[in-house]
A and B are shown apart, each in its own frame.
Chain A
């Protein structure tokens, strides 16, 4: 476990949390997800990834949790080069990163609390720890009343919040969210945004892919804009679109 511990021990100020160096992701010769992307994200930062549909935001996130492997270039997370990472270390990487998936990726046959608990069980958390932590995090995302519901008994926004609760229940140092406010009404979006912001204030690095122009403009955080898999803008305290 020692090596994966490094990732969870990384604190703001310890150096970059994420480094992409000349990363290209080719799904097929004619399907390029990312094209020679170079950037770095410091620990403790809050970053928006923006760009039109198909610009490579989800590809970027999938590379981070090594759901896919880069065709060219190196991806470094928490000081670990993912290309050199042995297959059996990947689960430990994924535990150290919290990820809110674009399609929520909930376990269909399990209740809200069982879904969140699974992320703890995977790490070997004790039943006592699970009984304590799950209600706590469900309270934080405002789902305390729904812990026994199944995913298909929840609205999209509620499933979204279960996904966030599961991503954060291990208190990862890096939290990635792929369009966590997509298809949500403005009020719910703001609630989720505030939650991610609070999580960021505890020292967690947050990377959020989004189309939500209003939200990005309001937050005034670092914005990384992609187009056709290429970096077109990387700006601090920025808005969704560049202002000439």
Chain B
């Protein structure tokens, strides 16, 4: 028979095994980036952010906040944000479709539930894609990237967007008619010109990829 201390120890040991594994499972990009340097960070994270949710899917949600608090490099905070965004998009409500050819000025559109807009300072999305495909990690690029994550069916995909396309998507965070959405962007001449040249292509892409769609 175990002593009382050893009895508690069984549960403590199980916690120390299970929780870090669950956190790392949600941080696959960061795992590729940091390798063996990740588990000590996860142990530290769990000390400061013990799980407060019933679902293991959400145990890593504060990891970007934790990394920022210890002044981790920007590619690490970017990657944590990307990993968590992927995790949310993976189980978000399914996206709805619309036919871009039927678009009217009054058509109401909204970003679909699995869509996440990200402003990143590093090319972590390339690193993550390469790692998950088993490829060599590309060199990290430090620049402003506007990225949209979306889930047309079950797999998460991403696109790197031109500034005007990113602004266009931002105009549909809540249900908005096409005319009103475009109106908010017309003040800025540079954006307006880019939209004039590309709107048709972009809307077809957003429709096909189920990035924009009808409200619920």
Chains A and B come from one and the same complex:
no
